[in-house]
Amino acid sequence: MTNRYERIHDLLEAAFAPVTLEIVDESAKHASHAARNGLEAGETHYRVLMVSQALAGQSRVARSRAVHDALADEFKSGLHALSLTLRTPEETQG
């Protein structure tokens, strides 16, 4: 059985073939927030940096929606929040 971090990683890899994918579990910073909302203390809040050519031509909102769509089942099973930084390879070059 995989944990949420691994599932998020695998889902984003499959959907976007990113050249860069960094996922940080920030759930510990939000433990009291999760408890107030009846969520488990862990695996609820993540920060994601993803660089992918698949994001080209999409607005910031469309990119965010695409990631949320790819992770829809995770949101249904307890994922509460994502902080997203989504760029194309061209956008990361100086």
**10 Å Cβ neighbour count for 16?**
20
- The model's pTM is 0.84
> Is 16 in a helix, a strand, or coil?
helix
pLDDT tens digits, residue range 61-74?
999 999 999 999 99
Domains of the chain, CATH where assigned: 4-92 (3.30.300.90)
pLDDT tens digits, residue range 7-51?
999 999 999 999 999 999 888 765 555 444 544 556 788 999 999
pLDDT of residue 39: 46
**10 Å Cβ neighbour count for 1?**
4
pLDDT tens digits, residue range 47-94?
999 999 999 999 999 999 999 999 999 999 888 889 999 999 999 986
Q: What is the DSSP string of 22-80?
A: EEEE-GGGGHHHHHHTT--SSS-EEEEEEE-GGGTT--HHHHHHHHHHHTHHHHHTT--
